[in-house]
Amino acid sequence: MEARRHPRALEGVEPIYEGAEAYLYPVTWAGRRALAKWRPPKEYRHPAIDAEIRRARTIAEVRGTLHALEAGVNAPAIYYVDVDDCIIFMEFIEGVLLREYIDEHGASTRVLELAREAGRQTALMHSRGLVHGDLTTSNMMVTGSGKLYIIDYGLSGHAKTEREKAIDVHLFKRSLESTHPEYLEPLYNAFLKGYAEEAGEEAARRLDHLVEEIRMMGRYVEERRRRKP
């Protein structure tokens, strides 16, 4: 084991999740159950470059989360940020991933309601010019009370074009296609219905048209790649 694997603020705490980009730790903050998200150093990168990348992504995630909250999106509250050690202390959301919820309940009435709510919250985000950057069913959580949260804003940014918003929705649709293809049509239609409730029918139609353009372009590029000798 490498020396000082965890930063001092998290010494003695075991992570509950170790991903490629970040570790998650259960902690207590001001008497409340909280979650600490730490971006560990990457040995394959030059230390100075690595530190800058991790700091930038930490700041981007905090900024994106705060902008989402300001827009009225259900997102985890931010308690504290240690920019030097790249740690975010945030609200602990008790629940399951939407992907797991669909695994268990299929395209039930409740799941369709959640997909609709996901669309509505995405429209709220987009109304402020915020794009998530990784909008999938693995970055949405359902609490025990049935509340839907959109989490993990590490790849979020400001949308300069409508196409960037469509890329968000394309990612959501593709996540359904890859994990629950049998429920793709009803869940995606429910998502668009929720989006239209917040942004309007015309905006939802334009968005869906752009999503289809992006999907067709992806298929075209893939077909060209396959035809290469």
Q: Which residues are identified as catalytic?
A: 134
- The token duo for 27 is 């902690």
Q: How far apart are CA 114 and CA 108, in angstroms?
A: 10
**Cα 24 from chain centre:** 15
Q: Across the strands, what pairs with 78?
A: 90
Q: Under a CB-based contact definition with an 8 Å cutoff, are residues 38 and 86 in contact?
A: yes
Reduced to 3 states (helix: H, G, I; strand: E, B; else coil), residue 55 is: helix
Instruction: Report in angstroms the alpha-carbon separations of 198 from 15, 76, 139, 204, 218.
Output: 38, 21, 21, 9, 28
- The token duo for 140 is 């949405």
In this structure, the number of other CB atoms found within 10 A of the CB of residue 28 comes to 11
- The token duo for 55 is 């700091």
